[in-house]
């Protein structure tokens, strides 16, 4: 008995000593994601995506022989939790990079910690302030919200719309979008007649849309990521608002469309191409990447439909992988420099071209204008015929 125990112990000790010599050291990657809580629709697909990708990479022998170790921390969308997890990952786990957080508020909270700890941060959150002004170690993969706003305004110009009403929720996402709309409207010749902020838990918005209708706006832009974005379009159509409805890129989840059918028909919003991957022409450089991710994700998660949010995590790990390969080392500094010089990485959100001034790497063409047709997402046909 005693001998057996000793033998096992001895074996374990030899393994511990020997294993690093046999294989190259593993690369530790942290991920702070809102897997549960109010932003779970962001964090949950992001986590599933990362787990799927890391499994896949390790099966194929890792990155240049280095296996990946993914450490996921569930922040529940709380900036305070994100902060303590970030410290833990940087100081105790000594990770090479952190993917996430899922929301802009959390990212801004830990931006400073990542900078101080000289640890790469690849945020999956949208707000432009994350990378503007540029912080040395902070990058982000979703498209900037200012591009979404510009896309919408350009579409409005084509449709001859100049008087609009703006609704947004009182979250970080809603606030950032509202600021961009207010900032960019004058230079695009758009006048905001009504500008309202509603509670993120709003259960009915009839009075808000009544105010819009009374002001005779030609179109409505709603900026939120909550169920309220379905409620808005439903209430607007119920009271007989006939103007065009625009939504933010937060609308890119088919569940919100289903919840608001048939009111959701004809809603226009900017989004990455993942949602319409199957309808893209074969010449589109993103098509192969998008279809591969969509197929793998939906197979792995029993038919759960892919969302653009999981795609942001996909892009983050893809960029990190490419950078490690390019740097040829796992040194934080070398990998960071490699990310900054990555060009032409085809991801789910678009084609990334990083530079020391641009830590997002995407241009405005990474957004496509989509619409809802027969209960499904479709690319907005061009030129747009005016809606009745």
Partner 1 sequence: MNIELFFQYLVAGVTYGTIYAIVAIGFNIIYNTTGIINFAQGEFVMLGGMTAVTLHAFLPLPIAILSAVMITMVIGALIEITFIRWLISPSVLRMIIITIGISILVREIALHIWGAGVKALPYFSGTAVSAISIGDVHISPQVLWVIGVSAVMVICLNLFFTYTLPGRQMRACSANRDAARLCGINAKNMVTLSFVLSAGIGALAGCVVSPITYVQYDGGTALAIKGFTVAILGGLGNSMAAVAAGLLLGILESFSIWVMPTAYKDVISISILLLILFVRPSGLFGSKEAAQLKEF
Residues 145, 130: contact at Cβ < 8 Å? Answer: no
178 binds partner 1 (CB under 8 A): no
Check residue 79 for interaction with partner 1 (CB under 8 A). Answer: no
According to the binding rule CB under 8 A, does residue 122 interact with partner 1? no
Select the span of 59-67, 152-160, 190-198, 376-384 touching partner 1 (CB under 8 A).
190-198
**Binding to partner 1 by residue 47, rule CB under 8 A?**
no
Work out whether 196 is an interface residue with partner 1 (CB under 8 A): yes
Single out the segment in contact with partner 1 by CB under 8 A; choices: 25-33, 145-153, 228-236, 343-351: 228-236
Q: Is 208 in the site for partner 1 (CB under 8 A)?
A: yes
Q: Does 260 bind partner 1 (CB under 8 A)?
A: yes
Q: How far is CA 185 from the centre of its chain?
A: 24
Residue 204 binds partner 1, judged by CB under 8 A: yes
Instruction: List, in sequence order, every residue forming a beta bridge with 368; answer none if it has no partner.
Output: 271
- What is the β-pairing status of strands 138-140 and 120-123? parallel
Binder to partner 1 among 24, 26, 36, 93 (CB under 8 A)? 36
Candidate residues 67, 134, 184, 261; the one interacting with partner 1 per rule CB under 8 A: 261
Binding segment (CB under 8 A) for partner 1, from list 3-11, 231-239, 270-278, 317-325: 231-239
Residue 231 makes contact with partner 1 by CB under 8 A: yes
CB 374, min distance to partner 1, A: 15
Q: Write b or e for each residue in 344-382: b if 16 or more Cβ atoms lie within 10 A of its Cβ, otherwise e.
A: ebebbbbbbebeeebbbbbeeebbbbbbbeeeebebbee
Q: Is 240 in the site for partner 1 (CB under 8 A)?
A: yes
Q: In the chain, which ranges are E strands?
A: 27-33, 68-74, 97-99, 120-123, 138-140, 163-169, 191-198, 219-223, 244-247, 268-271, 345-346, 351-352, 368-373, 376-379
175 class by beta-carbon count within 10 Å (0-12 exposed, 13-18 middle, 19+ buried)? middle
* Helix pair 79-91, 104-116: axis angle to 10 deg: 30
Task: Return contacts of 379-382, CB within 8 angstroms, 24+ apart.
Answer: 379/276, 379/279, 379/280, 380/155, 380/268
CA-wise closest residue to 274 among 346, 361, 348, 347: 348
Stretch that binds partner 1, among 18-26, 112-120, 154-162, 195-203 (CB under 8 A): 195-203
Which among 102-110, 157-165, 197-205, 348-356 is the span making contact with partner 1, rule CB under 8 A? 197-205
Of 50-58, 237-245, 287-295, 374-382, the window that binds partner 1 (rule: CB under 8 A) is: 237-245
Instruction: State the Cα–Cα distance between residues 337 and 320, nearest whole angstrom.
Output: 11
Q: What are residue 245's DSSP bridge partners?
A: 220
Q: Is 198 in the site for partner 1 (CB under 8 A)?
A: yes
Interface positions, 154-173, toward partner 1 (CB under 8 A): 170
Is 256 near partner 1 (CB under 8 A)?
yes
- DSSP 8-state symbol, 66: B
Alpha-carbon dihedral angle through residues 311, 315, 321, 322, given to the nearest 10 degrees: 140
CB of 266 to partner 1, least distance (A): 11
Smallest distance, partner 1 to C-beta of residue 263, A: 5
Residue 216 interacts with partner 1 (CB under 8 A)?
no
Q: Beta partners for 4?
A: none
Q: Determine which residue in the list 64, 188, 227, 300 makes contact with partner 1, applying CB under 8 A.
A: 227
Among 67, 71, 129, 197, binds partner 1 (CB under 8 A): 197
Rounded CA-CA distance 223/219 in Å is 13
Interface positions with partner 1 (CB under 8 A): 36, 38, 40-41, 44, 170, 196-199, 201, 203-204, 206-208, 210-211, 213-214, 227, 230-231, 234, 237-240, 255-256, 259-263
């Amino acid at each position: 008995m005693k001998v057996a125990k000793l033998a096992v112990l001895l074996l374990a000790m030899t393994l511990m000593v020997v294993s690093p010599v046999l294989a190259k050291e593993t690369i530790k990657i942290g991920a702070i994601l809102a897997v549960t809580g109010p932003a779970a629709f962001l964090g949950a697909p992001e986590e599933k995506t990362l787990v799927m990708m890391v499994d896949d990479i390790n099966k194929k022998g890792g990155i240049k022989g280095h296996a990946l170790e993914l450490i996921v921390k569930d922040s529940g969308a709380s900036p305070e939790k994100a902060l303590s997890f970030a410290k833990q990952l940087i100081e105790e786990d000594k990770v090479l990079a952190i993917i996430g957080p899922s929301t802009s508020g959390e990212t801004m909270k830990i931006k400073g910690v990542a900078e101080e700890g000289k640890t790469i941060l690849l945020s999956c959150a949208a707000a432009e302030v994350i990378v503007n002004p540029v912080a040395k170690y902070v990058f982000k993969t979703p498209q900037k919200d200012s591009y979404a706003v510009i896309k919408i305004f350009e579409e409005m110009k084509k449709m001859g719309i100049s008087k609009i009403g703006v609704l947004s929720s009182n979250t970080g996402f809603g606030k950032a979008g509202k600021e961009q709309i207010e900032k960019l409207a004058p230079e695009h010749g758009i006048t905001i007649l009504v500008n309202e902020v509603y509670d993120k838990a709003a259960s009915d918005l009839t009075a808000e849309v009544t105010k819009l209708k009374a002001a005779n706006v030609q179109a409505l832009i709603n900026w939120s990521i909550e169920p309220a974005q379905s409620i808005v379009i439903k209430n607007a159509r119920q009271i007989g608002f006939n103007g065009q409805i625009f939504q933010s890129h937060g609308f890119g989840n088919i569940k919100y469309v289903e919840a608001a059918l048939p009111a959701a028909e004809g809603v226009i919003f900017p989004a990455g191409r993942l949602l319409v991957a199957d309808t893209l022409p074969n010449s589109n450089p993103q098509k192969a990447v998008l279809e591969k991710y969509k197929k793998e994700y939906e197979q792995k998660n029993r038919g759960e439909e892919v969302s653009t949010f999981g795609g942001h995590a996909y892009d983050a790990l893809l960029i990190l992988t490419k950078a490690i390969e390019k740097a040829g080392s796992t040194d934080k500094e070398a990998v960071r420099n490699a990310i900054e010089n990555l060009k032409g990485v085809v991801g789910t959100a678009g084609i990334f071209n990083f530079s020391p001034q641009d830590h997002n790497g995407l241009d405005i063409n990474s957004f496509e204008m989509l619409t809802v047709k027969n209960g499904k997402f479709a690319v907005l046909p061009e030129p747009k015929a005016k809606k009745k």
